[in-house]
Amino acid sequence: MTKTLKIIALASVATFLLSACGGSPASDAAAPDASETAKVGFSPLSGLPGGSGGPIAVVKIDNVSPARPQWGISAADLVFVEEVEAGLTRIAAVYNSTLPNKVGPVRSARISDLEIMEQFGTPAFAFSGAQSKFLPLIDQANVINASHGLNGKFYTRETDKNIPHNLTVDLASVVASLTGVSGAKDMGWTFSPAAPAGGSDTKSFSAKWPASRVGAEWDGTNNAWVISLDGEPASDAVTNQPLFAKNIIVQYVNQLEDSGFQDKNGNKTPLIQTVGSGTAVVMRDGQRYEATWSRPMAANPTTYTVGAASYVFAPGQTWVLFVPKTYPVVFDPETSPTPGS
Find residue 121's DSSP bridge partners.
none
Give the confidence band of 35 by pLDDT, cuts at 50, 70, 90. very low
Please write the tens of the pLDDT for every residue from 283-313.
Answer: 999 999 999 999 999 999 999 999 999 999 9
- Does 27 score more than 60 pLDDT? no
Q: What is the DSSP string of 114-155?
A: HHHHGGGSS-EEE-S---TTTHHHHHHSSSEE--TTT-GGGE
* Mean pLDDT computed over 152-178: 98
* Residue, of 265 and 294, whose pLDDT is higher: 294
Say if residues 278 and 197 touch (Cβ distance below 8 Å).
no
pLDDT at position 335, please? Answer: 64
Output the pTM of the full model: 0.89
pLDDT at position 25, please? Answer: 58
Give the confidence band of 8 by pLDDT, cuts at 50, 70, 90. very low
Query: Domain 57-176 belongs to what architecture?
Result: 3-Layer(bba) Sandwich (3.50)
Q: Residue 275: enclosing H or E segment and its boundaries?
A: none
pLDDT at position 334, please? Answer: 82
268 Ramachandran zone, left/alpha/beta (phi>0; psi -120 to 50):
beta
Q: Residue 213: enclosing H or E segment and its boundaries?
A: strand 212-219
Q: What is the DSSP string of 64-115?
A: SGGGPSBBSGGG-SEEEEEE-GGG-EEEEEEESS---S-BB-B----HHHHH
Please write the tens of the pLDDT for every residue from 267-282.
Answer: 999 999 999 999 999 9
How far CA 92 is from CA of 89, 114, 159, 202, 221, in Å, comes to: 10, 11, 23, 26, 28
pLDDT at position 131, please? Answer: 84
SS3 percent helix, strand, coil of the chain, rounded to 5, is 15, 35, 50
The set of residues, in sequence order, having a beta carbon less than 8 Å from that of 13 and lying 6+ positions away, is 32, 40, 49
Find residue 7's DSSP bridge partners.
191
Please write the tens of the pLDDT for every residue from 123-139.
Answer: 999 999 898 899 999 99
Please write the tens of the pLDDT for every residue from 47-105.
Answer: 999 999 999 999 999 999 999 999 999 999 999 999 999 999 999 999 999 999 999 99
The set of residues, in sequence order, having a beta carbon less than 8 Å from that of 156 and lying 6+ positions away, is 102, 167, 168, 169, 170
The Cα–Cα gap between 159 and 136 comes to 32
The set of residues, in sequence order, having a beta carbon less than 8 Å from that of 284 and lying 6+ positions away, is 195, 199, 246, 247, 248, 313, 314
Q: Report the chain's mean pLDDT, rounded to a whole number.
A: 89
pLDDT at position 340, please? Answer: 56
- Does 182 score more than 90 pLDDT? yes
pLDDT at position 246, please? Answer: 98
pLDDT at position 23, please? Answer: 42
- Does 174 score more than 80 pLDDT? yes
The Cα–Cα gap between 261 and 268 comes to 6
pLDDT cut 70: percent of the chain above it: 86
